[in-house]
Amino acid sequence: MLEFFNRYIFGVIVPLGLMAAGVFYAWRLRGLYLRHPGVIIRGMLGRGGGVGMPPGRALSLALAGTLGVGNIVGVASAIYLGGFGAVFWMWVSALAAMLLKYAETVIALNHRRLGGDGLYHGGPMFYIRDFFDSRGLGFAGRLLAVVFALLCIIDSMAMGCVIQVNAVTSAFYGVMGLDTALCGGVFTFLAVAVIVTGARGISELTEQLVPLMTIIYIVLSLAVMLARPGEVFRALGKIFAGALAPASAGGGAVGYVISRGVRFGVMRGLMSNEAGCGTAPIAHAGSSARYPSEQGFWGIFEVFVDTILLCSMTAIVVIIGYDKAAVFAEDSMMMTLTAYSSVLGGWSEYCMCAMVLFFGFATVICWAHYGMECVRYLSGRKVWIYLFIAAYGLAMLWGAVSEPGGIWGAADLALGAMTLLNLCVICPMSREVMRLTEDYIRMSLDRQSQRKAAGMAHRGRHNNSPP
């Protein structure tokens, strides 16, 4: 029954819903990032308003959840399932995902709450309840908010914990032959040590870790491209040539961001950038941004870094080394490792293992934050948060030594239900997003005009001053 729901219900409805919602917001916001790039850049440069974590730190926390192991292996799976043209449709899908991520981030900041700990807390749990409360359906809102929180807790244990830790320990065992139980024990100890520090400690670490692992991964990918510059152009040619092939359209647009095998793309790859499923807004809601749109712009940037930048680099490297990588077929981890090592040599496998560790560790602690925020929403008592941390640690140990197997099914089911519930709320709230966006753009343009006028007046006074 679980397999049936994931394959034929969520495996069809969720991808189509995500694409429809992305296109809907692209239409409603009229391609915001194309019309007002200056407003977006100036908004991202804002330093926040005091309470909460800096906007850039909130972005790093959200990126820690999106830049998981799926970023390394998910692209190889998409190419294997959908052909080289799947990458093109990944780019197209990301353009819609940017504004979907923007919308849910704006809504999350507009409905967040200031907690007794002096930090902001928000996410779908809050705006789902507010949405139904405003329509006189308070009981339904409270019930559905609880349902979302429970689903997110389940998915944090499965997708954000067991599956990530299993990928990390498997990589170290495959390349270095290290014992999975030993690796899992060390990983769990370090992760729990960070998780118990709470939102502040987790966000401070991700603020340092995310830029570091991103830069290292970019350097490794650029090393492959610089070693084979001619192959880069051929890889791009293969992407565009295969873009309209039936297999690529099915495995790309309905493929990577919805993946050809669906569960291998959106569901199993956690949709890469998480747009629409409601998890990243939990991280963004803790920002000290003065206006919801300012943090929403960081949501757009999040999708750009995740999908347009890192996933594209991975795709080019995989295509360059595809002849050797394809030998591993559906073993996406080994496909990616082989693609890098076939160009850079065996030493790169150790670097990639380190990347898997960094990406996996960042994802695990970020999803622990998501889980704790949902537990906090359900009950503010600290004992429940500590019980969740203990269960999360046990899940890490279990994931290190066991194959995920049926965990994938539970993760897919929880993620699919979360996404549908989130989409059914944020789409009807589009007027709120439009109002907040238009108000911010008008204010930003007015400020820019005032600064220009002041500058011109200053220059005029300077030019007219007596020698």
What does the pLDDT look like over 189-236, one tens digit per residue? 999 999 999 888 998 898 888 888 889 889 999 999 999 988 999 999
Residue 251: per-residue pLDDT = 46
The pair phi, psi for residue 84, each rounded to 5°, is: -65, -30
Residue 246: per-residue pLDDT = 53
Q: β-strand 120-121 against 113-114: which pairing, if any?
A: antiparallel
Amino acid at 35: R
The pair phi, psi for residue 53, each rounded to 5°, is: -80, 155
Query: Is 181 contained in some domain?
Result: yes
Query: Is 386 contained in some domain?
Result: yes
Domain, as residue range, for 213: 10-40+58-443
- Kind plus residue range of the DSSP H or E element containing 63: helix 55-66
Number of domains in the chain: 1
Residue 388 sits in a domain whose CATH number is 1.20.1740.10
Residue 334: per-residue pLDDT = 79
Query: Is 278 contained in some domain?
Result: yes
Query: Is 26 contained in some domain?
Result: yes
pTM > 0.85: yes
Distance CA 328, CA 197 (A): 40
Query: Is 456 contained in some domain?
Result: no
Report percent pLDDT > 90 for the chain. 32
Instruction: Write the burial class of residue 241 (CB in 10 Å: 0-12 exposed, 13-18 middle, 19+ buried).
Output: middle
C-alpha distance across the termini of the chain, in Å = 87
Query: Is 31 contained in some domain?
Result: yes
- Residues near 166 by Cβ (< 8 Å), separated by ≥ 6? 399, 400, 402, 403, 404
Query: Which residues in the chain land under pLDDT 50?
Result: 247-270
Tokens of 282: 């939990």
**Which tens digits make up the pLDDT trace of 432-465?**
999 999 999 999 888 888 877 777 666 666 665 5
Query: Is 205 contained in some domain?
Result: yes
Query: Is 199 contained in some domain?
Result: yes
